[in-house]
Structure 1
Amino acid sequence: MGSPTCAERLGPRDLLNVSAEPPDELGVGVRGEHTAQVLALRQERLTTRRLTVRDPLQHPDSDVPLLRSQAEHWASHIIRPIRITAQWAPGLAASTIRFQEAGPYGEVIRPANTGFGVSYGLPVIVAGLMTEPGDILIVENPEAHLHPGGQSRLGRFLARVAGSGVQVMVETHSDHVLNGARLAVAEDRTLRAQDAIVHYFGREETVPIELTDRGELTQWPGGFFDQIESDLGRLARARRRSR
């Protein structure tokens, strides 16, 4: 099964269209447009597909394997602490999703009043949690609208999905996503170094880059995530000139 998530995902919506696909074949959609429907189907057990998240993908702080609970824990870890409620009544042409601040007295928040990071990041998380060994998960720009810490944690999450037997293909412009995947190799040990490969698409050539067991890259071609070093070097030289 292929599950693509493109860079142009849906922003915050109070109402979401629903798909007429059979419940057992429904994914989050290319733009994440069916995320609420998927969560509601699993929450209400309106599907015969696996209702629980596989052991390798379960959040270490949650002992409830149901998809909504796991999505909630991973979203709280990656994006911001939230609780999630999704509803869809069969026969209606719309589904809803609501968020709530963490804690017993957290306020219910409409999607329109949340940042884009939630609506952009949640479909990627749910798509990853729904995978089975042998699946293909394609994600374009997972870093969109996430702060650097969230980008790194999402990179680690996607590497965990890859380490569970799923072929994960990520197109990214974020060194934080890459470094998160490197941490998954070196620190979490959720992805083997030999199962990870990076392709740098330069102006004239494509350079394959492998990882070591310590999360190091076997080569670092010019133009490959080196802008921060370039800028810091120029800032250092500027400071020396101003003395």
Structure 2
Amino acid sequence: MLDEIGMTNFKAFSRQVVPLAPFTLLTGLNSSGKSTVLQSLGLLRQSYEAGLLDESDDSCGFLLNGEFVELGTGQDVRHNTYVRHRSNDVDDRIISLQVVAGGRSFEWSAEYGQEDDLLRLVPDSQQSTSPLPPELRPLFGRGFQYLKADRITPAVSYPRSHEAAVRRGFLGARGEHTVNFLRANQDSVVEAQGLRLPDAPSGNLLTLTDAWMQRLCPGVNLQVHGIDGTDSVRLSYGFGSTFTADNRYRPTNVGFGLTYALPIVVACLAAQPDSLILLENPEAHLHPQGQTWLAYLAVAAVGAGAQVIMETHSDHVLNGLRIAVKNNLVPAGRTAVHYFRRHELATEMVSPEMNSDGMLSDWPSGFFDEWENSLEQLLD
């Protein structure tokens, strides 16, 4: 499990350390730094996959544009104000990312280049990732999933990539390989008891995907199959008590919510020990009940051994986590809640502690207080 992520001179942060738990919830106003936390991990992952974190020459560095993040150039990722890195002997234009995992610290530092989209590592700043240290397997291993806010939308067909969905077990940063992953693994048994629902007739992946999707839309069921002679797969929805509902619908005739949430559901159900799941705004296009159930699903994935870092604007997601803590589905000590707010060029992080009854130690101004503020005006 990752214990913390540190960022220096990176986007919203001059210098910030973010403690991580098995379930970490990131929230705050827009442009306050929540996405920066996830993007820092995505940047490390895509730089690692490109072989750019463990080289001994000047070709290694942070790959700013790739499969997980598209950050532009150095001027887009450098923080507005510089801070010194380690000591006054080091150029203050250094951009640094640090990961603490299993009691070990790993840090990569790169030189700022205004127009560069590959920020070259500072000499001697490389951390050995070959062979892969076991502490970094959640970040650099097979169980990594990063589902961004702009996920797949309803379509007639989806890509059929054996390399992504089968060999790598990757859903795609937009969830574009989810349907093919589900097609290839639909009969795989989900071992974690917490991910199984009592009304699911079996414990295979497709059946449990149906069961959890029914928490978002009662009665829905899915079918996935390959389209012969093409590199595409097809998804369809049915409504009714049986899997063989006569009338089936294309995603384009069902709406955004179900298809948008499907990668989230599959990522959590496919979670294994040492998986790392990064989720941006999983609540998008879902009604409040569905948002709460997504929190319950993420908690179940944590129970299966995964680490979940979730960015959200939803008080229903937050309350779902609080209820799960109160109902002993996840210990309070295995959760972290961070609220980000911006003061001019600086970003501040406030971290209320979760108590065993689901109550929070602090409720800072701007932290999911809009309902209370609106109610106060209505009653005035």
The match for 2:254 is 114
Amino acid aligned to 2:305: G
Question: Does 2:313 align with 1:173?
Answer: yes
State the structure with bigger RCO (CA 8 A, min sep 6), 1 or 2: 2
The match for 1:93 is 231
1:234 aligned counterpart, secondary structure = helix
Unmatched segments (≥5 aa) in structure 1: 46-50, 238-243
Q: Deviations over 1:135-155 (max 9, x none)?
A: 100000010000011111111
Alpha carbons of structure 1 residues 37 and 90: separation in structure 2 relative to 1, 3 Å: farther
CA distance in 2, matches of 1:68, 1:176: 26
Q: In the alignment, which of 220, 240, 264 is matched to residue 82 of structure 1?
A: 220
Larger Rg: 2
CA distance in 1, matches of 2:246, 2:365: 48
CA distance in 2, matches of 1:20, 1:74: 26
Q: In the alignment, which of 268, 290, 299 is matched to residue 159 of structure 1?
A: 299
Q: Offset of 1:106 from its aligned partner?
A: 5.3
Q: Is the 8 A contact 1:160 1:184 kept in 2?
A: no
Alpha carbons of structure 1 residues 20 and 171: separation in structure 2 relative to 1, 3 Å: same
Task: Choose 200-209 or 141-150, whichever is displaced more.
Answer: 200-209
Question: Does 2:282 align with 1:142?
Answer: yes
The match for 1:52 is 189
Q: In the alignment, which of 100, 115, 125 is matched to residue 265 of structure 2?
A: 125
- Residues matched between the structures, number: 230
1:21 aligned counterpart, secondary structure = helix
CA distance in 1, matches of 2:338, 2:211: 31
2:338 aligned counterpart, secondary structure = strand
Amino acid aligned to 1:226: D
Q: Offset of 1:211 from its aligned partner?
A: 0.9
Amino acid aligned to 1:68: L
CA distance in 2, matches of 1:99, 1:163: 29
CA distance in 1, matches of 2:229, 2:145: 25
More helix by share: 1
Q: Is the 8 A contact 2:201 2:207 kept in 1?
A: no
CA distance in 2, matches of 1:103, 1:132: 30
CA distance in 2, matches of 1:148, 1:171: 16
Q: TM-score when scaled to structure 1?
A: 0.89
Unmatched segments (≥5 aa) in structure 2: 1-142
Q: Offset of 1:91 from its aligned partner?
A: 6.4
Q: Is the 8 A contact 2:151 2:173 kept in 1?
A: yes
Q: Deviations over 1:69-93 (max 9, x none)?
A: 0000000113342111001268631
The match for 2:365 is 222
CA distance in 2, matches of 1:79, 1:145: 12
Q: Is the 8 A contact 1:11 1:116 kept in 2?
A: yes
Q: TM-score when scaled to structure 2?
A: 0.58
CA distance in 2, matches of 1:28, 1:70: 17
CA distance in 2, matches of 1:210, 1:197: 7
The match for 2:333 is 194
Question: Does 2:172 align with 1:29?
Answer: yes
Q: Offset of 1:52 from its aligned partner?
A: 1.0
CA distance in 2, matches of 1:117, 1:36: 15
The match for 1:206 is 349
Q: Deviations over 1:33-77 (max 9, x none)?
A: 11110111013x6xxxxx111222112222411100000000011
